[in-house]
A and B are shown apart, each in its own frame.
Chain A
């Protein structure tokens, strides 16, 4: 594994671990807190490690070699298109009242995980294309 990817993992895993710990703490706190400012704080604290995850991703994309960067670029474009189109289609179906109405926060929370998931799948496919032959 190249140094740039080792550094990425060194930055990614602690940030993800912090996210999980803070998320569990946040869920527990929200059951006990009643003050609105404290509830806002408890809710937003888990976002901080996600910022560090994104920072790690930006740094690895910036420091990779040119083909790796191209693979990531093509993958994020594909993921953005799939997720954008998917949520747009879902929104149209919801507005036509042909699907059960979800809670707004449920839809909003799933945008980023859906983007990450699609990015991962797209990266496997794009990477396979460049490895092929």
Chain B
């Protein structure tokens, strides 16, 4: 039985040591998901902007309306004729990383003449 207890003790020590690694992996996964979510949001927002542009309405307002509150300060919208471009900085665990993880999406529709 000493054998098993010994192994168990060893394992628990290693689990303790592995927790930071596991946490890191979890955080990386969360960050990936945040980037993916931001990409999905940008996708929907840019479409809303383009639809508004097609209807002759302001695209920037439509982009803002299509995003949740937190994203409003993290988004840059550029409208050039029928081109609507949305850049969204996802929430980042390390703040300076947000710029590097920025997602971008653009769409074009014939603008109202």
Q: Do A and B come from one complex?
A: no
